[in-house]
Chain A
């Protein structure tokens, strides 16, 4: 199978004044279409930085990252924004929903930036919200929803533009065990339907549910 994601010789160094802080060193990862991969490691190991690089929120200091065979390391801001919007779906630990928008608008948002016609957006957002059992919560704002409901809205949002990869950064970290399991079930279902998922977690149980675990420590894969 073709690689959806390919990371080659990636370094990431942060510049804190005169001090260079290396966060990632010589990372090489390939992820194939339909894989369910967990990235695990202690806090401060560089997991989230790696996720940000994969998600095109940040650029590597050196090395290359290919998404669908497109080298993202030398794209400009506009092109990166486009990749984030079209090819990548983000699910965050803290949900990162916009509090003043209702569930519907939150799910619609990524489609707005891709200039998708209004009618189409409406149908797609409704479809996804219903699929995740939120048909009756469309006009509720995030503060009116439970944690599990919020994360389901976030998952719906991450899927609206049919991304090639779903990136989940500790998606169950802010949820109780039972709700966490429900969310994991959703990811498993999505994966069984063919979605490539890369998930950062430090929970061993959750890592065990994935096909493959990439362990990272001190900025290096082990």
Chain B
């Protein structure tokens, strides 16, 4: 028997038993749709969360005093103090392009025309921060010798206060902890930056001043950097560069705690977790598919039972075991293919809808379609194997006797 003829028989049987065909395909449709939805949502989560990390500067590394882990026995207790000496050391490390020491001050009050807002302020060395300098929209950027000047992020200048702040305006910053307060002149406003990075953050809500300005504003005895951002020349060699940085810093910070983070490894770590989540979700879809598969086994068994007499007739007029087996396998395979395709379309639609609701990118990827469809056809064919071989093995005399 030619495959094409078997195909024709299969379509005749689908046509003849529309309701049964639809009911049995529903299981696979729902199963495949579930797999596609789960995988796509998982993929969307990955893309969405990676997007939050943004156009992260993947060749940026951050050196920070202290550490995430609790101090263990036998490990240094004292947090490293990062100062200009460390900046020079890091600048000397092979593979390091730029070194940007930063100080972050939290909970600073900024007063402008009798309005007060709570802010975080970054102290920087302007000559080392070309990236920020490039984003000046109005006014000018800071110079290393500036003392009472500040530069504002886009939102701070234009949206935070009732009146927009322009270059030339004066504001007052105060630090509630020490009750100090200083007047500053706004010299520049940065442009609207969408860009955010896990380590850096968008500049929109930031305020910048020089380290000497920060030191005198806060009036603290031992001023040191909160962290040092290091720009690495070659992202591919980031691990080696970090090793060299550690080696260089060891000389002055032998018994002190500090950490070096790179954004890539954090992204990798998060992506790894999300990938597991994605396949976990896919697994839930697979359970739905398995239930659909059991449905197909049931329907195919029922079909075989219903067609015992027909199988007997076919054998009597010359069909061999292979012909009968092929017929039933093609029937369940087509059932899987057609309902799998419908499932993919429905699943893609649902995934798109969820992505709109959840506000993350819709990502019905080719692999999730292939996996969904493959599982659908696979389930249907596997589900058809037992009924098909049962039909093929049937004794023609017995089969003909059946009513």
Q: Give the interface of A toward B (CB within 8 A).
A: 52, 55, 57-58, 77-78, 81-82, 84-86, 90, 92, 96-101, 105, 109-110, 112-115, 157, 161
Q: Is B370 an interface residue (CB 8 A)?
A: no
Residues of chain B at the chain A interface (Cβ within 8 Å): 1-2, 5, 12-13, 16, 309-310, 312-323, 396-397, 400
List the A side residues contacting B313 at CB < 8 Å.
Answer: 96-98
Q: A96-B312, A98-B310 are in contact. Are A109 and B317 (CB under 8 A)?
A: yes
Task: Return A109 CB to nearest CB of chain B, in Å.
Answer: 6
Q: Given that A112-B5, A113-B1 are known contacts, is A84 also in contact with B317, CB under 8 Å in the complex?
A: yes
Do A77 and B321 have beta carbons less than 8 Å apart?
yes
Of B16, B315, B318, B397, the residue contacting A114 (CB under 8 A) is B318
Closest-by-CB residue of B relative to A157 is B317
Beyond A100-B12, A101-B12, is A78–B318 a contact (Cβ under 8 Å)? no
- Measured in the bound complex, the distance between the Cα atoms of B317 and A112 in whole Å is 10
Chain A residues near B1 (CB-CB < 8 A): 112-113, 115
Q: For A57, what are the chain B residues with a Cβ–Cβ distance below 8 Å? A: 315-316, 396-397, 400
Taking the nearest CB of chain A, how far is it from the CB of B374, in angstroms?
31
Determine if B397 and A84 form an interchain contact, defined as CB atoms under 8 angstroms apart. no
Bound state CA distance, A113 and B326, in angstroms?
12
A-B residue pairs, 5 tightest by C-beta:
A85-B318, A81-B320, A113-B318, A110-B317, A100-B16
* Most chain A beta-carbon contacts within 10 A, residue among B313, B316, B396, B400: B316
Using known A-B contacts A58-B397, A112-B1, A113-B323, determine if residue A90 contacts B316 with beta carbons closer than 8 Å.
yes
What would 8 A/B residue contacts be, using CB atoms closer than 8 Å? A58-B396, A78-B322, A81-B315, A84-B316, A92-B400, A96-B400, A98-B310, A115-B1
Taken together as a complex, chains A and B put the C-alpha atoms of A84 and B400 apart, in Å, by 14
Contacts of A157 in B (CB 8 A): 317
List chain B residues, Cβ under 8 A from A85: 317-319
Name the CB-closest residue of A to B320.
A81
From residue A144, how far is it (CB to closest CB) to chain B in Å?
14
Cβ-neighbour of A52 out of B310, B317, B323, B397 (below 8 A):
B397
Which residue of chain B has the shortest Cβ distance to A117 in the bound complex?
B2
Closest CB-CB distance, B351 to chain A, in whole Å?
Answer: 39
- By a CB distance below 8 angstroms, the chain A residues around B318 are 81-82, 84-86, 110, 113-114, 161
A100 and B320 contact, Cβ closer than 8 Å, known pairs A58-B397, A115-B1: no
Contacts of A115 in B (CB 8 A): 1-2
A161 to B1, CA, bound (A): 15
Closest-by-CB residue of A relative to B323 is: A113
CB-CB under 8 A from A84, the residues of chain B are 315-318
Report chain A residues within 8 Å CB of B12: 100-101, 105
A113-B320, A113-B323, A157-B317 given. 18 additional CB < 8 A pairs?
A57-B316, A78-B321, A78-B322, A81-B319, A84-B317, A90-B317, A96-B312, A96-B400, A97-B313, A98-B310, A98-B313, A100-B13, A105-B12, A110-B317, A110-B318, A113-B1, A113-B319, A115-B1
Contact A113-B317, Cβ < 8 Å, known A96-B309, A101-B12: yes
Residues of A within 8 A of B317 (CB): 84-85, 90, 109-110, 113, 157
Contacts of A77 in B (CB 8 A): 320-321
**CB-CB < 8 A to B315: which residues of A?**
57, 81, 84
- Give every chain B residue within 8 A of A55 (Cβ-Cβ): 316
Q: Which residue of A lies closest to B15 (CB)?
A: A100
Q: Complex formed: what's the CA distance from A90 to B396 in Å? A: 13
Could you tell me the distance between the alpha carbons of A84 and B13 in the complex, rounded to whole angstroms? Answer: 25
Contacts of B16 in A (CB 8 A): 100
Q: Would you give the shortest CB distance from A51 to chain B, in whole angstroms?
A: 10
CB distance from A97 to the nearest CB of B (A): 7
